[in-house]
Structure 1
Amino acid sequence: MCCKTLHRKQMSLQACLDECMEALDLFLNNHFSESLDKLRPRAKESMYHALIYATVLEMQAMMTFQQDDIVHAGNTMKNAQESWREQLHAEVCYAECLLHRAALTFLQDENMVSFIKGGIKVRNSYLIYKELHAFVQSDTTFRGPNHKHLEGGVSFGIGAFNLTLSLFPARILKLLEFAGFSGDKEFGISQLFTGATSHTLRSMLCALLLLCFYTFLSFILGNCAGPAVTWGLHWGAIFLFFAGRAEEIKGNIDEAVALFEDGCKAQQAWKQFHHMCYWELMWCFTFKRHWKMAYFYADLLSQESRWSKAMYVYMKAAYLSMLSETESRPFGDNEVDLFRQVRTYKQKIAGKSPPTEKFAIRKARRYRASNPIRLPVPVLEIMYMWNGFSIISKQPELTEGMMETLLEAERTLQSAPENEYSVDDTCVILLLKGLCLKNQGQMQAAEDCFRQIYSSEKKLKFDHYLVPNALLEMGLLYIDTGRKEQAIHLLQKAKNNYKEYSMESRTQFRVHAALTKLKADTSEQDEKTAL
């Protein structure tokens, strides 16, 4: 190939990258239709146009959960993948397409075949990224004008795999390692950070994944520590959302509410962004115990969002049940009727019902009775599942408010006749009281609450998740008070002795995060001692 022809191809690639960067800028500044219009005409002739076009469609599909959107995004990604296989840029695009298609495959079908197909795509993508990473690291002679975009693509893939795989509990990770996978959290974060700050085509994806990790995954899994997340927060609605989430987990609820509201105002084209903000606004008003405002956002979600109507209806009923019997119910709704409707909205994603829906349906079951026994604090129980007690720990008045609610529920429960739910309901309140007491620095009182749950293990009839979670919380309390050996013993017991309870995977992830942190802290201490 002559130099003139090679130069023309490089210029053509440069033009494609420049136009795709412009399209991404439009997307990030809320001009979603204009972004797709810029990408669509060349999606069948340019690998980067095809990839970014399909990626934007995928983001839409993952927010809507509409089958047509999922199929359209999957087909577009497949076309993008099959069109280009001639050079290194094509290799990284191909691997990225496989990764996105695997995610869409999990959403699209409802049988085990989809999991196998998705797993094959993931493995093939992983192997390509490993080879490309090795090449980029070893061959320093190949440094064309667009090399930074190639490196950015590799950083995204290698970072995404390492970070994601590192979060899995040990028993799952062993199976993955047997299949050739491995995960190093710190290495994954460093790769994504490099990609996010390098101003390449994948910077947005790297930044989004890091933002998701620090403001959602690591928080919900109980490992809240992390650097300040500021990449790209000047961008449009989606980054206003993450800025709000960052304030929320710091306990700055009013600031978070303002940012989520700004995120809703910033654009009107994609209502799915609004739904993300509504969900967080619902929790912000929950932390402030503004039950009717929280109900308002749960109601909006139940009407507009397709993510989990069962969960939204459950939350509506839960908020109404927090009101006194004399308070008026918005829109004439009734919590008993709503609780009875929850199971009718059950859905399956990739062949399985989401664990949160299973939990909601199980909890609402008692309302099928003609004279149902009400749940004591259903909102606070779900709030625990999303690690909300860590958020209110940042503001003492929020914890004080929750403690008032719990003490009132406890008094009501103690004055009521004993029934088949009495022990379970008492232990729910004990778990949540223990968390509030821990937030207030009353460690012994908190420990006593968790111990009472453990001693009630054989008396529990329904809420078997309470025991492993009480052990987890007592283990975390021991970590905070310097009793590491006892903490390890309790965490191992929670990890190994309990199976098939509600929200098990979430508890197992949190146990894994705590044990990993203990191991890391111990290693650091050993190094300091050696020095």
Structure 2
Amino acid sequence: MSNGKGANAAETSSQMTLKECLDECMEALDLFLNNHFSESLERLRPRVNESMYHALIYATVLEMQAMMTFQPDDISNAGNTMKSAQEVCQRFRRKSPGLANKSAGESLTEVQLHAEVCYAECQLQRAALTFLQDENMVSFIKGGIKVRNSYLIYKDLHTFIKSHNCLKGSSHVHLEGGISFGIGAFNLTLSLFPPRILKVLEFAGFSGDKEYGLSLLHDGATGVNLRSMLCALLLLCYYTFLTFILGRTGEGEVAEAERLLKPFRLRYPRGAIFLFFAGRTEEIKGNIDEAIALFEDGCKAQQAWKQFHHMCYWELMWCFTYKRAWKMAYFYADLLSQESRWSKAMYVYMKAAYLSMLPKDEARPFGEDEVDLFRQVPTFKQKIAGKSPPTEKFAIRKARRYKAPHPVKLPVPVLEMMYMWNGFSMISKRPELTEGMMQTLVEAERTLLESPENQYSVDDRCLIHLLKGLCFKNQGLLQAAEECFNKVCSSEKKIKFDHYLVPNSLVELSLLYIDRGRRDEAIKLLHKTKQNYKDYSMESRTQFRVHAALAKLKADPGDDEDTRL
């Protein structure tokens, strides 16, 4: 730029405009977090065609709504709005490409730097919508390209703001927050993926640095900047969901989640989002009644976005599952099947599963019949990026046996699905809940022994062994747990349908060995699981757990070395 007074005045004006935009967007986010969703959008809407930040935040709110409703029209509208936001950002970007390699004379203005980070964020969010919008692999590849492009912009930005070329304007804290979110999110997310999946996504050579990603996200979440909420939400999702799906049960994750939540709970005491995560942390701690109260409060806190209710219903369903209150759990599965589009096949399967846990002579709610419900499950199959979600595939496979005129009953379908969501770790601190599950398993085992032998008998017995092993582990009876897992592994050649049982039993056995200080044996079993078993139900989730366990042990020479962004 020229050094004339006119240029300086224009630059100053630009900075003021940027600050005003950021201040107004912060106010809109504040409304959003206080459950004033419509007012938040109204505050943003007038400037979506002229302000990159108004455009980005407006589209982000619509995307959050679309991902919760799962309505095709909402997804399409959010996608178009995010595309428009990206076009607004493009108008503020420097015309020539590249960031970090430019000479000092070509240094970017503050507005241009903010345009880069907003553009990258639009790319990333459009990728997420692309994965949801179309039912083919071309869509998946397009989404992958958007992710990669976003990744490269963030990488260049990160290098550039550390160089002497970077101009630190009055809104630099928001720029740093955006980069912390982007680089942190990529490092954390990529660290969770096994290398073979990264190669498919064309991220070969980058497996991410988890601790570095967490550190950047914490910096972003605890600072006063526009992305602090996004950083906090991503961290809360990681600490309260991803770590548990990956099989971890560490105290550290819960403590970190509580530390993150504390300032947000004080500022937004009735904020539905934070009530939900507070409920989730209590659930993880085994405080099921406290969790139920918080999820119910989350539903009462606002009525504008029913999608928040659905998130709470899902958790309430599991909370009542842990208490073996089958009819209450059924009630929430039924609500979800009627109101939520996320996975009707899963919800109907869970309804049938809960009814199947009731005594034969007990009245069924609404006169529904579990056999009829199980038979309906395949009719609700959906596809995302050309593929059915793994949990839906699993539910449909399990429901297949009810196609027969006189079907063989699934022994403990609720407890089996509870295992898939790592629910046994949720009750590990509550001996009475584990004891209740053990009673259910012993009764199911007795029923199997008293029933005529059939084609499912070995599979069903092995499932009982796996789940009993988890209960024994919760009770500290590690030798008994080991024997249960070994019984499954020794039956490998006899299993006809549920081939997932052996690799998962090997993973549980390896985790048990880690607890007992048998590190080398654990590593051997994890490698065996990783290399010897393919094409079984929920394979990706099991492989993620293997990757997480090996990463924790720092013992996987077969993987690419981590390369930090």
The answer to whether the 8 Å contact 2:188/2:214 transfers is: yes
Asked whether 1:92 is paired with 2:117, we answer: yes
CA shift in 2, pair 1:313/1:258, >3 Å: same
Pick the aligned partner of 1:25 from 30, 37, 40: 30
After TM superposition, the structure 1 = structure 2 runs for residues 4-403 of structure 1, keeping only pairs within 5 Å, are 4-84=9-89, 85-86=92-93, 87-139=112-164, 142-173=167-198, 179=204, 181-225=206-250, 226=253, 227-230=255-258, 231=260, 232-234=264-266, 235=268, 236-403=271-438
What is the rounded CA distance, in whole Å, between the counterparts of 1:282 and 1:162 in structure 2?
33
Q: Percent identity of the aligned residues?
A: 78
CA shift in 2, pair 1:19/1:178, >3 Å: closer
Asked whether 1:477 is paired with 2:477, we answer: no
Moved more, 178-187 or 277-286: 178-187
TM-score relative to the length of structure 1: 0.96
Deviation at 1:66, TM superposition (A): 0.8
- Describe the superposition over 1:302-330 as per-residue Cα deviations: whole angstroms up to 9, x where unpaired: 00000000000000000000000111111
What is the rounded CA distance, in whole Å, between the counterparts of 1:2 and 1:59 in structure 2?
39
What is the rounded CA distance, in whole Å, between the counterparts of 1:129 and 1:141 in structure 2?
15
What is the rounded CA distance, in whole Å, between the counterparts of 1:140 and 1:479 in structure 2?
49
What is the rounded CA distance, in whole Å, between the counterparts of 1:439 and 1:492 in structure 2?
25
- Describe the superposition over 1:16-37 as per-residue Cα deviations: whole angstroms up to 9, x where unpaired: 0000000000001100000001
After TM superposition, the structure 1 = structure 2 runs for residues 486-501 of structure 1, keeping only pairs within 5 Å, are 486-501=521-536
Task: Indicate the residue corresponding to 1:405 in structure 2.
Answer: 440
The answer to whether the 8 Å contact 2:371/2:402 transfers is: yes
The runs of at least 4 aligned residues of structure 1 exceeding 3 Å deviation read 173-182
Task: Indicate the residue corresponding to 2:105 in structure 1.
Answer: none
What is the rounded CA distance, in whole Å, between the counterparts of 1:210 and 1:353 in structure 2?
27
What is the rounded CA distance, in whole Å, between the counterparts of 2:114 and 2:289 in structure 1?
45
What is the rounded CA distance, in whole Å, between the counterparts of 1:105 and 1:181 in structure 2?
23
The answer to whether the 8 Å contact 2:136/2:386 transfers is: yes
Secondary structure in structure 2 of the residue aligned to 1:125: helix
Moved more, 513-522 or 105-114: 513-522
The answer to whether the 8 Å contact 2:47/2:55 transfers is: yes
**Matched residue type, 1:488:** I
The answer to whether the 8 Å contact 1:285/1:291 transfers is: yes
What is the rounded CA distance, in whole Å, between the counterparts of 1:279 and 1:260 in structure 2?
10
What is the rounded CA distance, in whole Å, between the counterparts of 1:181 and 1:494 in structure 2?
23
Deviation at 1:145, TM superposition (A): 1.0
Deviation at 1:5, TM superposition (A): 2.5
What is the rounded CA distance, in whole Å, between the counterparts of 2:74 and 2:203 in structure 1?
35
- Describe the superposition over 1:192-244 as per-residue Cα deviations: whole angstroms up to 9, x where unpaired: 00000111110111000000000001111112332421322343101110110
**Matched residue type, 2:359:** S
The answer to whether the 8 Å contact 2:346/2:391 transfers is: yes
What is the rounded CA distance, in whole Å, between the counterparts of 1:233 and 1:371 in structure 2?
53
Deviation at 1:120, TM superposition (A): 1.0
Task: Indicate the residue corresponding to 1:2 in structure 2.
Answer: 7
Task: Indicate the residue corresponding to 1:526 in structure 2.
Answer: none
| Matched residues, number | 522
**Matched residue type, 1:143:** K
Deviation at 1:148, TM superposition (A): 0.3
After TM superposition, the structure 1 = structure 2 runs for residues 445-524 of structure 1, keeping only pairs within 5 Å, are 445-519=480-554
What is the rounded CA distance, in whole Å, between the counterparts of 1:303 and 1:229 in structure 2?
32
Pick the aligned partner of 1:425 from 450, 456, 460: 460
CA shift in 2, pair 1:224/1:174, >3 Å: farther
Deviation at 1:171, TM superposition (A): 2.5
Deviation at 1:116, TM superposition (A): 1.5
What is the rounded CA distance, in whole Å, between the counterparts of 2:486 and 2:200 in structure 1?
34
Deviation at 1:140, TM superposition (A): 8.1
What is the rounded CA distance, in whole Å, between the counterparts of 2:379 and 2:483 in structure 1?
39
Deviation at 1:182, TM superposition (A): 4.1
- Runs (5+) with no aligned partner, structure 1: 523-531
CA shift in 2, pair 1:346/1:178, >3 Å: closer
- Describe the superposition over 1:381-406 as per-residue Cα deviations: whole angstroms up to 9, x where unpaired: 00000000001111111100000000
**Matched residue type, 2:390:** P
TM-score relative to the length of structure 2: 0.90
What is the rounded CA distance, in whole Å, between the counterparts of 1:431 and 1:3 in structure 2?
70
Task: Tell me the C-alpha RMSD between the 2 structures.
Answer: 1.5
**Matched residue type, 1:63:** M
CA shift in 2, pair 1:180/1:459, >3 Å: closer
What is the rounded CA distance, in whole Å, between the counterparts of 1:139 and 1:7 in structure 2?
21
What is the rounded CA distance, in whole Å, between the counterparts of 1:178 and 1:71 in structure 2?
27
Secondary structure in structure 2 of the residue aligned to 1:508: helix
CA shift in 2, pair 1:72/1:31, >3 Å: same
The answer to whether the 8 Å contact 2:198/2:204 transfers is: no
Secondary structure in structure 1 of the residue aligned to 2:554: helix
Secondary structure in structure 2 of the residue aligned to 1:441: coil
**Matched residue type, 2:223:** S
- Runs (5+) with no aligned partner, structure 2: 1-5, 94-111, 558-565
**Matched residue type, 2:249:** C
What is the rounded CA distance, in whole Å, between the counterparts of 2:536 and 2:324 in structure 1?
29
Secondary structure in structure 2 of the residue aligned to 1:229: helix
Secondary structure in structure 1 of the residue aligned to 2:265: coil
Task: Indicate the residue corresponding to 2:102 in structure 1.
Answer: none
- Describe the superposition over 1:352-393 as per-residue Cα deviations: whole angstroms up to 9, x where unpaired: 111111100110111111111100000000000000000111
What is the rounded CA distance, in whole Å, between the counterparts of 1:223 and 1:364 in structure 2?
29
The answer to whether the 8 Å contact 1:176/1:182 transfers is: no
